[in-house]
Structure 1
Amino acid sequence: MQLIDIGVNLTHASLAKAPDAVLERAYQAGVCQLVLTGTSLAGSEQALALCHQLDASATRLFCTAGVHPHDSSTWTRASSAQLEALLREPLVRAVGECGLDFNRDFSPRPQQEKALEEQLALAVELQLPVFLHEREADQRLREILRDFRDQLPAAVVHCFTADKRALFGYLDMDLHIGITGWVCDERRGTHLHPLMREIPQGRLMLESDAPYLLPRTLRPKPKHGHNEPAFLTEVLNEVARHRGETPEQLAEHTTACARAFFALPVI
């Protein structure tokens, strides 16, 4: 059984201390390929460097490149050119993490929207899929996406945590959905359980978002307290349960979906 983790923050200090060991545990758990998330220009450079450093075969590790809405206040005229150069690297397979976050508002909303629009324009120009972040902004995100959607090859709303209305709005736009350990959280993720059956095959992908969102169903819990790609099997089992599928069935179609979305090789 093969799994693909479409979102891991391997540049985070908690994972970057011993990335070889993190990856070995992931491979042992059946996570055969990983997409490292870029959340800033510097972070995207680091993610790409890790791909080169840790995967000489260039078949297991790939990355995204983009500017997270939290960091969109740093977006300048030069950012677009710098990002474009990164996006032309062969191991960079998607634009992002980009989007809107109206929950924390770490950057002013007009700047979030400007950075998102310019990154979507790059995705259209280079014909790359988009790795999207959204918190409490689904309506505005869809409004902005409408101007670009017909020209984009694909887009995934990563770490989906919203409600049925938002989900159906995204599916109506033919977007992909990424599910994380949020679905394993009995305190705040139970509303996702009935929604798992509503995501069609070919639109659903799985992600750890490590080191964040340690699945609360995991036993025993790691002493270090942070999430790892090796724990993606917990997300697999929880999602499969609510979809009425076996873990093997879910692994097969979510892996095929991720391979197609990010243009990953079969290994």
Structure 2
Amino acid sequence: MNFWCDIGVNLFSDQFAADREQMLARAHAAGVNHLVVIGSDIAESEQNQQFCQQQANKSNINIVTTAGVHPHYASQVNDSWLAQLKQLLQASSVVAVGECGLDFNRDFSPRPQQQLVFAEQLQLAIQHNKAVYLHERDAFDTQIAMLKQHSIQRGVAHCFTGNTQQLRAYLDLGLYIGITGWVCDDKRGAELQQAIRYIPNDRILLETDAPFLLPKNIQPKPKSRRNEPAYINYVAEKVALLKQCTVSDIAAASLENSKRLFNFQSQQHHD
């Protein structure tokens, strides 16, 4: 059996409200023994951190979290957000700063405010020696310029959907690449499928971005369109096919990479 780390779960999405514990049990049964849950604003980051604390000795899965402010919410930060984020980054269960970055596709927050909030988080990542957990949509050139300006060398391009040129730019900075079920979509994911072969095995991370991005290669198709960590192997199957290696190769590499990036304490697998 392969063991997995899913580095992208939106744990407190309303879609998991009715069966969060059962979803985690299914993940464990599928071999997922590490989860990174995503904080998209201060409130969610705090909620995640409290959950990680409560689960520390109860769960069969090692659950850790990111803490940060997504660009969509950059205009909603209050005066104390930075102080609150610094406080969160003291917690051992908080392994990365983010989800942070730039989104010029939807522009839910004004671009100057997005850049301001992103820059503050990049500084914090450096100061606290944490990985950055990056979001980017239609803002690649500005984002890569800011990463270079802040000398960012440790982090992950979360839910990477870009092309080979963008992939190489992230790799050149020393970053890891997070691959989701987007790669299983032969129409939308065509550029990403082309780029996959250029990701070295020691830089690839796997994520479901659950409950979003249900892999299209699941057979038979689930009744619900909701994605969950138990489906991580379908992402790996598509990656292995494109990279012409085995699913076990991808499982082992991505698990090792996640431990290295997020400084997981090595955890014995619980039955």
Aligned equivalent of 2:202: 202
- TM-aligned CA deviation for residue 266 of structure 1: 2.2
Residue 95 of structure 1 corresponds to 97
Partners of 1:56 and 1:19 in 2: CA distance? 17
Structure 2 equivalent of residue 230 of structure 1: 230
Answer yes or no: is the 8 Å Cα contact 1:63–1:92 preserved in 2: yes
**Match for residue 10 of structure 1?**
11
- Deviation, 1:89, is 0.8
% identical equivalent positions: 43
CA contact (8 A) 1:4 1:34 kept: yes
Counterparts of 2:120 and 2:187 in 1: how far apart (Å)? 37
Instruction: Say which SS state the counterpart of residue 202 (structure 1) adopts.
Output: helix
User: Which residue in the other structure is 2:54 paired with?
Assistant: 53
Does the 8 Å CA contact 1:127/1:153 hold for their aligned counterparts?
Answer: no
Aligned to 1:135: 137
Q: 1:19 to 1:54 in 2, by over 3 A?
A: farther
Structure 1 residue 165 corresponds to structure 2 residue 127? no
In 1, Cα distance between the equivalents of 2:95 and 2:75? 24
Give me the CA root mean square deviation.
Answer: 1.4
Contact kept, 8 Å, 2:28 with 2:230, in 1: the verdict is yes
Structure-1-length-normalised TM-score: 0.95
Q: Aligned pair 1:39/2:40, yes or no?
A: yes
Runs of 4+ in 1 over 3 A off after TM superposition: none
Q: Name stretches of at least 5 consecutive residues in structure 2 with no aligned partner.
A: none
SS, match of residue 265 in structure 2? coil
Q: In 2, distance between residues paired with 1:147 and 1:179?
A: 25
Give the Cα separation in 2 of the matches to 1:189 and 1:21: 30
Q: Tell me, what secondary structure is at the counterpart of 2:202?
A: coil
Aligned length: 265
**8 Å contact kept, 1:102–1:137:** yes
Query: Residues 53-91 of structure 1: CA distance to partner in whole angstroms, max 9, x if unpaired?
Result: 334258610000000000001124411111110111110
- Supply the distance in 2 between the matched residues of 1:35 and 1:142 (Cα, whole angstroms): 24
Structure 1 residue 16: Cα displacement: 3.2
Relative to structure 1, the CA distance from residue 14 to residue 54 in structure 2 (aligned partners, 3 Å threshold; closer, same or farther) is farther
Structure 1: state its 5+ residue gaps. Answer: none
Q: Distance in 2 between matches of 1:111 and 1:96?
A: 16
Q: TM-score, normalised by structure 2?
A: 0.94
Amino acid at match of 2:120: E
User: Is the 2:75–2:114 Cα contact (8 Å) retained in structure 1?
Assistant: yes
Tell me by how many angstroms 1:219 deviates. 1.7
